[in-house]
Chain A
Amino acid sequence: MTYNLQPKMIEIKELYKSFGNNQVLNGVNLNINKGETIVILGRSGCGKSVLLKHIIGLMRPDKGKIFIDGEEITAYNDEKLYHLRKRFGMLFQGSALFDSMTVEENVGLGLTEHTRLGKERIGEVVKEKLRLVGMAGVEDLKPAELSGGMKKRVGLARAIAMDPEFVLYDEPTTGLDPIMADVINELIISLRNTLSITSIAVTHDIVSAYKIADRIAMLYEGKIVFTGTPEETKNTTDPVVRQFIEGSSEGPIPTLT
């Protein structure tokens, strides 16, 4: 397991977060290595998206710390957070494209606001990113004119427009047909291979998880209860993980919530 010897990029330590009476994160510990694709599995509503949002500072924990490259980002003020976010790209579950802008304006927004590149140059970069995700030619369309799969891919183009080190995926394949889901999976894999991006995905789509992950982690009752390679996941004897990956309504995980 060579990953243990490489410098850790993201360390999540004893993270707690509750909303009202709902203790969503109950002491999460997780390390994410440089360059890997880690998939966090868990049931719907178990806190996967909440965990993801903590990594990029969209939410602050009640207790606990997150370190990126040794720096405690949970202690960052707003200004530092903004700088940190330039290293990240995030693909939201609903794509979250800006309705009032065209595809080109959406994908190019980061470049327009944060760089001194001219309009023409930005247009070229946008075309390139759209080509990478297989969406060349839709620059002038508005998000309302796109299908779900198209929106996801444009969202991905927007997430990678600034060449980030990390990309976060919130349920990247949920709601897509099996073929489009695999298109997205292939894109995630190719991004890792060609751009050396560290990818963190949360999903409950096990098939996709096996395909794209270097490591899989499972979030259950607010804690990470398992981490391992896809092989180790398939062969695990942990009853909670087994119940989830087999998709069984019987087992230790309660179904009457």
Chain B
Amino acid sequence: MFKMKNPFRVVGRKTTLFFEDIGGFSFLIKNILLSLPGSFKRFHLIVEQMLYMGVNSLPLILVTSIFTGGVASVQAAYMFSDYVPMRYLGTAVGKSVIMELGPVLTALVVAGRVGASIAAELGTMKVTEQIDALETLALDPVKYLVTPRFVSGIIMLPVLTVFSDFIAILGGLLVSVVFLNVSSYTFLNGLKLFFHMRDLWAGLLKALVFGGIITLVGCYQGFKTEGGAEGVGRSTTRAVVLASVMILITDYILASFLFGT
């Protein structure tokens, strides 16, 4: 039976939980920053995480990127069909991929795969008392578990985004040539026409921030897990949803800052 909860209570509880989370997040960020210098001593942990993230995400990103580029081409061509010449198709596809589609869609894919798996792994460790065990061995769980993942995230996401950008533009090119009657010469010329390195750097900066968000949220939710296997499932879901929402919100903030006047 669906029982109506007192709406004031629900709102109140959600609000206090929200502020609790902000506090918890801030503490986690502080602890990560404090442990950064030490974590480079255990570089193998970072490399381990980077390999894991890359190997896990790359195949999926390549597949989604081709179609992302394809759809960008098709829809740009449609939008241009009345009044914009096709020689700007490459420009539109290139810019939209590099500035937005590449970083954001890559981040969403990685949030789903890597963010979820981080939350699940750390959540399982939490409910089996492995996090407590680390502390009793006088080891800092943040330094040992979180920071390597965080560093790996901010390095790997730009790397993965570069792959994604490349494959997406390739996908856009293929679709243009095969289905849209635009020659590869026209497309590539358009791509080069208004290309600015600054757009690429901005996109990679977005990716870097997104990488931090995904790993932070995954680790935070993992550490917060309570309640056995069901709790782990909840944390995993929450990590993906929260990371995705934060990516989209931060995307807007960064875009205003990077591309706004």
Please report A residues at the B interface, Cβ cutoff 8 Å.
53, 56, 58, 82-83, 85-86, 88-90, 92-94, 96-99, 109-110, 113-114, 158
Which of B137-145, B149-157, B206-214 lies at the binding interface? Answer: B137-145
Considering the complex, give the chain B residue whose CB is closest to the CB of A90: B136
**A99 contacts which chain B residues (CB < 8 A)?**
124-125, 130
| Cβ–Cβ contact A82 & B138, under 8 A | yes
**A58 contacts which chain B residues (CB < 8 A)?**
132, 135-136
| Cβ–Cβ contact B136 & A94, under 8 A | no
**B130 contacts which chain A residues (CB < 8 A)?**
96-99
Name the prevailing secondary structure of the B interface residues: helix
Contact with A along B103-128 (1 / 0, CB 8 A): 00000000000000000000011001
Q: Known: A92-B133, A96-B133, A98-B133. Contact between A85 and B138, CB under 8 A?
A: yes
Please report B residues at the A interface, Cβ cutoff 8 Å.
124-125, 128-130, 132-140
**A113 contacts which chain B residues (CB < 8 A)?**
137-139
Identify which of B128, B133, B140 contacts A90 (C-beta below 8 A): B133
CB distance from B111 to the nearest CB of A (A): 22
CB distance from B171 to the nearest CB of A (A): 37
Considering the complex, give the chain A residue whose CB is closest to the CB of B135: A58
CB distance from B117 to the nearest CB of A (A): 13
| Cβ–Cβ contact A109 & B139, under 8 A | yes
Considering the complex, give the chain A residue whose CB is closest to the CB of B48: A100
Considering the complex, give the chain B residue whose CB is closest to the CB of A85: B138
**A88 contacts which chain B residues (CB < 8 A)?**
136
**A56 contacts which chain B residues (CB < 8 A)?**
136
CB distance from B75 to the nearest CB of A (A): 44
| Cβ–Cβ contact A86 & B133, under 8 A | no
Name the prevailing secondary structure of the A interface residues: mixed
Ranked nearest first, the 3 interchain pairs of A and B with the lowest CB-CB distance are A96-B133, A96-B129, A85-B138
Considering the complex, give the chain A residue whose CB is closest to the CB of B131: A96
| Cβ–Cβ contact B133 & A83, under 8 A | no
Q: State the CA gap A94–B128 with chains docked (Å).
A: 7
Q: List 25 A-B contacts (CB under 8 A).
A: A58-B135, A58-B136, A82-B138, A85-B138, A86-B138, A88-B136, A89-B136, A90-B133, A92-B129, A93-B129, A96-B128, A96-B129, A96-B132, A97-B130, A97-B133, A98-B125, A98-B134, A99-B124, A109-B137, A110-B138, A110-B139, A113-B138, A113-B139, A114-B138, A158-B137
| Cβ–Cβ contact A85 & B135, under 8 A | yes
Q: State the CA gap A98–B124 with chains docked (Å).
A: 11
**A83 contacts which chain B residues (CB < 8 A)?**
138
| Cβ–Cβ contact A82 & B140, under 8 A | yes
Q: State the CA gap A53–B129 with chains docked (Å).
A: 11
Q: State the CA gap A113–B136 with chains docked (Å).
A: 13
**B138 contacts which chain A residues (CB < 8 A)?**
82-83, 85-86, 110, 113-114
Q: State the CA gap A58–B133 with chains docked (Å).
A: 10
Considering the complex, give the chain B residue whose CB is closest to the CB of A86: B138
Q: State the CA gap A85–B139 with chains docked (Å).
A: 9
CB distance from A10 to the nearest CB of B (A): 16
Greatest chain A CB density within 10 A among B129, B134, B136, B139 is at B136
Q: State the CA gap A217–B45 with chains docked (Å).
A: 44
CB distance from B92 to the nearest CB of A (A): 46
CB distance from A182 to the nearest CB of B (A): 24
Identify which of A53, A94, A110 contacts B137 (C-beta below 8 A): A110
**B132 contacts which chain A residues (CB < 8 A)?**
53, 58, 90, 92, 96
Q: State the CA gap A86–B137 with chains docked (Å).
A: 7
**B139 contacts which chain A residues (CB < 8 A)?**
109-110, 113
- Additional A-B contact list (20), CB under 8 Å, known A58-B135, A92-B133: A53-B132, A56-B136, A58-B132, A82-B138, A82-B140, A85-B137, A85-B138, A90-B136, A92-B129, A92-B132, A93-B129, A98-B134, A99-B124, A99-B130, A109-B137, A110-B138, A110-B139, A113-B138, A113-B139, A158-B137
CB distance from B152 to the nearest CB of A (A): 15
**B128 contacts which chain A residues (CB < 8 A)?**
94, 96
Q: State the CA gap A89–B124 with chains docked (Å).
A: 22
Q: State the CA gap A98–B130 with chains docked (Å).
A: 6
Q: State the CA gap A56–B136 with chains docked (Å).
A: 7
Considering the complex, give the chain A residue whose CB is closest to the CB of B143: A113
